[in-house]
Amino acid sequence: MKPIIGITCCTDRNLKHYIADAYLSAIRFAGGVPVILPAGSERDLPLLWPKIDGILLTGGGDIDPFLFGEEPERHLGEIEPGRDPFEIFLCRQALLDDMPVLAICRGMQILNVAAGGDMYQDIYSQFQHKVLQHTQQAARSHLSHTAAVTPGSLLHRLAGQSVVKVNSFHHQAVRKVAEPFETAARASDGVIEAIESRTHRFMLGVQWHPEALLASEDQLSRKIFQTFIESCKKT
Ligand SMILES: [Mn+2]
């Protein structure tokens, strides 16, 4: 049986829901069935929950800083207020029930916030020292900066090496990593590029976009999606 993967989507200020096809294709590539979960589904979650085998938290706009106890800074970008509460609800349920989660970019940040962590609203103005260019000016399939993988992590096993190259489309980043998460990769400037829980079946957040690297046969991206879908099959 193919696992059914609940996928979160963007909500814009006109209350439209949308998602890049790359996320759906990546789930299908790895052998899963993608189903989009619209924001505002909190009350329907008890009905949806038994029907899904894993969750993919996708990228998107910025996160409302109120959720980690801050006022909006000057360099905060467009937020998705309709989306945050549903995703936090989803993350907390997944943490409790050990539902496999793959969290990409914004998804990794909201997963950490849901666990009680916080984040930089804008790394360029808030990081303690000079940062790399994390908003690459190149195609989504281009690998623009390196990330050092934490020895002994799940990500390290998937990568099979201690330094990987990743694409980068973010100006926000995880700051305080909350339990049960641990840092799984860092860019050379110290920006956290991946987090994972070692006490769950599969709970991995990456700051980059592996769904955009499948067509170029990036081995780590394939491994990430395949291992995620594999772990969703075990009940
Ligand atoms: Mn980056």
Please give the pLDDT value at position 45: 94
Please give the pLDDT value at position 200: 97
- The answer to whether 200 is a known catalytic residue is no
pTM: 0.97
* Ligand 1 mean position, distance from CA 146 (Å): 8
Please give the pLDDT value at position 235: 60
* Ligand 1 mean position, distance from CA 167 (Å): 7
Please give the pLDDT value at position 128: 86
* Ligand 1 mean position, distance from CA 170 (Å): 6
- The answer to whether 171 is a known catalytic residue is no
168, with CB counted inside 10 A (0-12, 13-18, 19+), is buried
Tell me whether the omega of the peptide bond preceding residue 50 falls within 30 degrees of 0, making it cis: no
Domain 4-232: top CATH class:
alpha beta
- Dist. CA 26–CA 167, nearest whole Å: 16
In which region does residue 170 sit, left (phi positive, over 0), alpha (psi from -120 to 50) or beta (all else)?
beta
Please give the pLDDT value at position 69: 97
Q: Which two tokens stand for residue 195?
A: 């987090």
> Annotated catalytic residue: which of 105, 134, 145, 171?
105
> Annotated catalytic residue: which of 156, 171, 209, 232?
209
- Dist. CA 155–CA 161, nearest whole Å: 9
Question: For each of the chain's 235 residues, which pLDDT tens digit applies?
Answer: 999 999 999 999 998 999 999 999 999 999 999 999 999 999 999 999 999 999 999 999 999 999 999 999 999 999 998 899 999 999 999 999 999 999 999 999 999 999 999 999 999 999 988 999 999 999 999 999 999 999 999 999 999 999 999 999 999 999 999 999 999 999 999 999 999 999 999 999 999 999 999 999 899 999 999 999 999 996 6
- The answer to whether 209 is a known catalytic residue is yes
